[in-house]
Amino acid sequence: MLLLLILADDFTGALDTGVQFAACGIPTRVVVGEQVDFAANDAAVLVVDTETRHLPAAEAYAVIAKLTREAMSAGVFSIYKKTDSALRGNIGAELSALLKTSGERQLPFLPAFPQIDRVTRDGVHYISGVPVTESPFGIDPFEPVRHAAVTDLLAEQTDLPAASFPALAADGSVPAEDGILVFDAATVDELRSTGRALLNNGGLRVLAGCAGFGAVLPELLGLGGADVTCPALDPRLLVICGSVNAITLAQLDRAEQAGFTRLRLTPHQKLMPDYWRSADGRMTLDHIEETLAAHPYNIIETNDEGGNELTAAAADALGLTREAMRVRIARGVGQLAGELFASHAVGTLLLTGGDTLLQCMNSVGVHELEPICEMERGVVLARFGCNGTTRYVITKSGGFGHADLLTELAKQIATDTEETT
């Protein structure tokens, strides 16, 4: 029986929230696309990646409204609108769609993710101690966050009233205001106590937040299951990175310094449609496979050295908008991953960035992943079926993780493999 529907706007976000339930032994599925057969679902928790982050606000609203209607008609107990922990995407439009379509009076919204130092104080959202607008997400080349005050951000896309409130005590009362209720949280305990107050007042029908609040929902909803063990993985690691986030770039630099080989795709390789199926592309693939076979730790990334001016200039010469450039790069990386997928030299695959993950999975015809466990906070191990075999992939958002994340993951995978052999 489907107890909880989670609506996420990108693939990595869907996984980093879904894994909060899967790691507790709760049957959890993560699927892509708005065509969902709720009656056929056999999981307790269903996470839908709606792929609405980059859509116009009106289109994102329509997708969330449609899925909310269908879920409520199917008798789904609770709906959680998973938002980006850095406040990117169509948050106002999507929260508005959920609240208006559900018929509820209030939508509690807890945007904080204190487990990775993303907190909300006095209604302002902070990343590692600075307002989100002053963080790397405020200068994102594709979708900069322009408001740190959460209610100001919501007001850009919804006419619903929105107000900010301190975290609630577990035995506290819920504010009486209608609309979107934004709650502060600087700790997991504050997320938990606010959630407990909402539960005691019957307020878990519709909710919104990121993986931070998602991590306390299993306890609040009384969900649980068998213990979960992460499987042993191939100790060789290939990182495919399509993120431009400065946090990920620092991780790549540190990994390269530690001995990872690093291949930066050229503007032509990234922007030319079907490059990887061309004669030149095939030759490059052969070279990449040779490199993977010779080295245990490898990086393939879409960033130019020292910035992305070369790719931007190439895109301008082709008459591409920044959005068209983003889509074309992601599709090209997906094709590359698809061509490499059957190679025995690949080892364990780590994909960073939601667009990269989506296009890589599209390239092999995969539209559903099963999250297993977190290898580090926000770093998800998932499995899927492909050509009759079970495959594993590690995923992470571009904005997650400390500088030594990739090197420490490589060590962890190698150690876990040694202990099981």
Whole-number Å distance between alpha carbons of 119 and 131? 10
Which fold, 237-419? Answer: Molybdenum Cofactor Biosythetic Enzyme; Chain A (3.40.980)
CB 47 within 8 Å of CB 14: yes
Say how far apart CA 180 and CA 173 lie, in whole Å.
16
Q: What is the pTM of this model?
A: 0.90
Is the C-alpha dihedral spanning 174, 180, 183, 184 positive or negative? negative
Q: What is the pLDDT of residue 421?
A: 55
**Which two structure tokens, joined as six digits, stand for 176?**
């009486």
pLDDT value, residue 397: 85
**What string of pLDDT tens digits covers the 421 residues of the chain?**
789 999 999 999 999 999 999 999 999 999 999 899 898 888 999 999 999 999 999 999 999 999 999 999 999 989 999 999 999 999 999 999 999 999 999 999 999 999 999 999 999 999 999 999 999 999 888 789 999 999 999 999 999 999 999 999 999 999 999 999 999 999 999 999 999 999 999 878 999 999 999 999 999 998 887 778 889 999 999 999 988 888 899 999 999 999 999 999 999 999 999 999 999 999 999 999 999 999 999 999 999 998 889 999 999 999 999 999 999 999 999 999 988 987 888 899 999 988 889 999 998 889 899 999 999 988 999 999 887 788 899 999 888 889 999 999 999 999 876 666 5
- For tokens 């390269």, what's the residue? 256
SS3 130: strand
Q: Are strands 162-165 and 261-264 parallel, antiparallel or unpaired?
A: unpaired
DSSP at 395: E
Range 4-221 has CATH code 3.10.180.10:
no
Could you tell me if 23 and 374 are in contact, meaning their C-beta atoms sit under 8 angstroms apart? yes
- pLDDT confidence of residue 23: 92
Distance CA 335, CA 396 (A): 19
Q: Do domains 4-221 and 237-419 have the same CATH topology?
A: no
β-strand 389-396 against 379-386: which pairing, if any? antiparallel
Q: Which of 412, 396, 313, 287 is nearest to 352 (CA)?
A: 396
**What pLDDT score does 419 carry?**
66
Predicted pLDDT at 420:
61
Contacts of 310 (CB under 8 A, 6+ apart): 267, 304
Q: Which residues pair with 369 in a beta bridge?
A: 30
Q: Where are the domains of the chain?
A: 4-221, 237-419
* Residue at token pair 């095939």: 282
Residue holding tokens 């930066």? 264
CB 380 within 8 A of CB 15: yes
Contacts of 14 (CB under 8 A, 6+ apart): 6, 8, 30, 32, 47, 48, 49, 82
Quick one: residue 123, left, alpha or beta (phi over 0 = left, psi -120 to 50 = alpha)? left
Cα distances from 307 to residues 136, 244, 250, 267, 329, in angstroms, run 14, 9, 13, 12, 15
pLDDT at 418: 63
CA 215 from centroid of its chain's CA atoms: 14
